[in-house]
Each structure stands twice: as C-alpha cells, then as structure tokens.
C-alpha cells in the first residue's frame, strides 16, 4: 500500500461517510439499549462496534493486517508492523451529546510511527502525520509556538508540574485524548495528561506530539506497546 495524498484523501472520504451514517446523527441521541458496560466499567455503544468493524474492513482492504482496535483488542501486539484503531474516541461525550469526539488510527513499524490520523467528524477536519510532518485537511502545518501553559491538571499530575512550570491557565479536559491533541495542534492547549492509556489512545497522540517536540515524563518517545497503564504527561517547552 502506497502512503500518499491519494491514500489520505480516500481515508477522509470514507471517514466522512461512516461518521455521517453512524456518529453525527447519534451524538446525544442514544437509547439505553445502545449502551453497555465493558469489563473495566467504561462505556461502549453499538456505534463504537459498528464503526470499528467498518474501519477494520476498510483498512484490511487496503492491505493492512495486524489491526488492534479498542473494542476488539488483541493480546498479540508484538508485531513488527501493526495498526491501532479507536473508532469513537470520547464515547462518554458521544453518549452525553458533547461534540468532542474523534476517530483515530495509527500505523506502526518497528516501534516507529509511519502515519497517524485524527478525524473530527463534527467539523469534518482531518489531521494526519507522515514523514515527520503534520497536515490539516492535507495542508502542511508549521509547529505552533507556545508562550503560556494551558491545560487540565488532574491530581496525579499536579506535583509533577509544580516542579516544572508555573502560572498555568486551567482548561477543562475534553475527555477525548484525540480532541486534546487537536486543541494542542490549534494552539488552544499546551499540555495534556494520559492515565491508564491504551495504545489506540496513546500512539496516535504520540505521533503528533513527537513531531511538535513535546516533552514527556516517559524515558523515550518510541512506540513501545509496553507503555501502558502509566501516568503519562506531555507538555510544550516554553
């Protein structure tokens, strides 16, 4: 599979079609029967499952194998090449009628990100990384230069940040990792925290934040699937 502009445009067309069928009409419009609890007590909807299956089929048709997804995750993640899929990042927002939901995909080879995609269906905006660049709607973006720290400080992050930065401006968390990354790309947030992360959350976020030269409490920024269930903090150097 050739990873080029045509590929990303095809992805965008497909994401837009799927979200118009299953996501946009159902934000805040779910029945109780559409929602169930996962073993970790988080919520899943029937549309998470439908969108996930559509995405898996689409990318398999493009030649991608070893797909690890949120609702049908695999125990086997030690592939040299694999893809992660988060069909609806921000499921609680989706349930509660909050328009902060995204679709996320990342493709990893030998602990390196080949590309990642974050799609905002509400305003039909697609962000992707490839070749150490970030694109918004297929236009190359220049890294944003932060002059102040803005973000949500959870209790688990406050002590860490007290030793690094001061004069933070509080910003309510979005409850969607991908949406937080979009706010960083757009200059609306300069740090974020991830707690108890899964690779379908972490790897797309890391792909963008690494290109933006964000700092982290991780020992490195390679795409090692053992970086799970940690308190991970990303922040801009000002």
Domain edges within the chain: 5-140, 150-235
pLDDT at 2 over 70: yes
Residue 94 in tokens:
């989706």
pLDDT at 137 over 80: yes
φ/ψ bin of 71: left (φ > 0), alpha (ψ from -120 to 50), beta (otherwise):
alpha
pLDDT at 166 over 70: no
In the chain, the percentage of residues whose pLDDT exceeds 70 is 86
Please, which pLDDT band fits residue 89 given cuts at 50, 70 and 90? very high
CA atoms within 13 A on the CB side of 211: 27
Please, which pLDDT band fits residue 227 given cuts at 50, 70 and 90? low
- Which residues, 6+ apart, have CB-to-CB distance to 94 below 8 Å? 23, 26, 27, 28, 30, 45, 47, 88, 101
Distance CA 101, CA 2 (A): 28
The DSSP element (H or E) to which 14 belongs, if any, is: helix 5-22
Range in 61-65, 130-134, 228-232 the model is least confident about: 228-232
- pLDDT score for 86: 94
- pLDDT score for 156: 66
**Phi and psi at residue 74, to the nearest 5°:** -110, 145
Average pLDDT for residues 3-24, to the nearest whole number?
Answer: 97
Range in 16-20, 109-113, 141-145, 156-160 the model is least confident about: 156-160
Domain over 5-140 is classified CATH 3.30.540.10: yes
Tell me if 55 sits within 8 A of 117, measured CB to CB.
no
pLDDT at 224 over 90: no
Q: In what order do the strands lie in the sheet with 215-216?
A: 191-195, 231-235, 215-216
């Amino acid at each position: 599979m050739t990873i080029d502009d045509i590929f990303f445009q095809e992805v965008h067309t497909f994401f837009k079609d799927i979200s118009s069928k299953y996501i946009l009409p159902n934000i805040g419009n779910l029945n109780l029967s559409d929602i169930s609890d996962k073993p970790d007590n988080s919520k899943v909807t029937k549309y998470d499952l439908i969108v996930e299956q559509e995405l898996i089929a689409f990318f398999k048709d493009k030649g991608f194998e070893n797909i690890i997804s949120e609702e049908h995750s695999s125990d086997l993640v030690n592939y040299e090449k694999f893809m992660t899929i988060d069909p609806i990042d921000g499921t609680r927002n989706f349930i509660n009628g909050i328009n902060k939901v995204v679709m996320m995909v990342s493709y990893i080879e030998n602990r390196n990100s080949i590309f990642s995609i974050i799609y905002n269906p509400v305003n039909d905006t697609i962000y992707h990384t490839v070749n150490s660049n970030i694109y918004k709607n297929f236009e190359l973006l220049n890294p944003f230069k932060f002059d102040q720290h803005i973000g949500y400080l959870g209790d688990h992050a406050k002590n860490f940040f007290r030793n690094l930065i001061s004069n933070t401006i509080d910003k309510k968390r979005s409850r969607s990792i991908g949406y937080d990354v979009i706010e960083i790309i757009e200059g609306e947030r300069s740090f974020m925290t991830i707690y108890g992360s899964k690779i379908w959350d972490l790897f797309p976020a890391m792909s963008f934040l690494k290109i933006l030269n964000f700092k982290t409490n991780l020992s490195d920024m390679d795409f090692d699937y053992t970086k799970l269930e940690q308190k991970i903090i990303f922040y801009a150097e000002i």
